[in-house]
Structure 1
Amino acid sequence: MTVSPDLRTIGAPRQPLPAREASQASEASPAPAREASQAREASPGLLRSVFRRHAAGVAVVTAHGDHPVGFTATSLTSVAAEPPLLSFGVGTSSSSWPVVSEAEYIGVHVLGEHQRELADTFARSGADRFGAPTRWSVGPEGVPILDGVLAWLVCRVVARVPAGDHRIVIAEAVAGDPAGEGRPLLYHQGRFNALRD
């Protein structure tokens, strides 16, 4: 192992500087960085705790196989403009995964703050997600399109990338409508929230 000259002085007693040099050193030197306190070893719980503090937009992803499926997603990300690509994560244990794993096209819906109940419905295991009061219609490429959302896209799936117990789905937008009215729904601290002014 090679020791850097800078490292040899760590822990050595510091000699006081003459007053003028001490004044110049204090002006030039930044305040020492705070040490990270209470650091925890990485774990699924740590990751969840950190991301509870990260506010995210709320979307619903839909697809159609033998029947329509959908789930609430807070992992929606714009990937590229040329071509227009997006991504989202889906758990392989999700009831929607068998259909999403084979779907050629999927729908992505950006929810408004007036749609907390819809977000809850699509997040709840065992819920009749496409039954009343959910309003939807068949859109381009046969994809279920939800009514009243802020914006929606129909996308062609181009990749499904393994990522632990999830898959990252990358899809290219082929049609959509950005003209819905309202403000976005957010997910923060384990709850659906509205923007504050």
Structure 2
Amino acid sequence: MVVDTPIRPARINPFTAERFRHVMGHVPTGVTVVTAMTRQGPVGLTVGSFVSASLDPPLVGFLPARTSSTWPLMVPVGTFCVNVLGEEHEQLCRGFARSGGRKFDGVDWRPAAETGSPVIDGALAWFDCVFERCHPAGDHLFVLGRVRNLDVRAQGRPLVFCHGRYQQLAAPDAAHDPSTGG
């Protein structure tokens, strides 16, 4: 049974938005840049809410703020690419997090073969998608996309945000590397 009904809160939240933000700040998140190719050129925004939603069909999701000035430019395109950033991409991330401006200045990228969405050079991985659905989610929107193509393009550690700042993951312990069976 599929249910697409809004859940009504039983009572008013017993905590403030600031408290919620503080506690959520303890949850580490990967950092991505979601890009699209518009008639005016490439656009993109930093997103820390990227998730895998389904394997069959392959679906991913992200949550842009309703106040985003970039999101409305992406909607009519119908396609997007999620670029997973590496720990060396902090400045690139900050550039795409700002409102307005020429975010792609100095950024090397190539168009995804199927959709033309920008794939950022040096991204650890990318997911080229077509829009599937968009649902209201409070002060954000939940965007669901069907993955049309994907790849791992670079080796490295992901850019992670936690405790209000960018963090670095420790180097993997070779003795416990699952790719080697250790």
Structure 1 residue 64 displacement after superposition: 1.8
Q: Which residue of 2 aligns with 1:35?
A: none
1:74 aligned to 2:57?
no
Counterpart Cα distance in 2 of 1:64 and 1:93:
20
Larger radius of gyration: 1
How far 1:138 sits from its partner (Å)?
1.7
Percent identity between the two aligned chains? 36
Task: State the partner residue of 2:157.
Answer: 183
1:124 Cα shift? 1.8
Q: Which segments of 5 or more consecutive residues in structure 1 lack a partner in the other structure? A: 1-39
**Matched length:** 157
Residue 56 of structure 1 corresponds to which residue in structure 2?
Answer: 29
SS in structure 1 opposite 2:146? strand
| Residues in 2 aligned to 1:147 and 1:112: alpha-carbon distance in whole angstroms | 11
Query: Hey, what does 1:5 align to over in structure 2?
Result: none
- SS of the residue aligned with 1:145? strand
CA displacement, residues 18-76 of structure 1 (integer Å, 9 cap, x when unaligned):
xxxxxxxxxxxxxxxxxxxxxx9333212211111111111110112222211111100
Find the aligned partners of 1:125 and 1:41 in 2 and give their Cα distance.
Answer: 32
**TM-score of the aligned structures, taking structure 2 as reference length:** 0.81
CA contact (8 A) 1:64 1:99 kept: no
CA distance in 1, matches of 2:120, 2:91: 13
Deviations 1:113-141 (A, max 9, x none): 11111111111223421001x11122231
Is contact 1:121-1:127 (8 Å) kept? no
Is the Cα contact below 8 Å between 2:30 and 2:160 reproduced in 1? yes
Q: Equivalent of 2:18, from 27, 32, 45?
A: 45
Aligned counterpart for 1:170 among listed residues 130, 144, 154: 144
Q: Matches of 1:94 and 1:179 in 2, distance apart?
A: 28
**Aligned mate of 1:138, from 111, 114, 119:** 111
**Following the alignment from structure 1 to structure 2, what is the Cα–Cα distance between the partners of residues 42 and 92?**
22
1:84 corresponds in structure 2 to: 58
Unmatched tracts of structure 2, length 5 or more: 1-12, 172-182
Name the TM-score, length of structure 1 as normaliser.
0.75
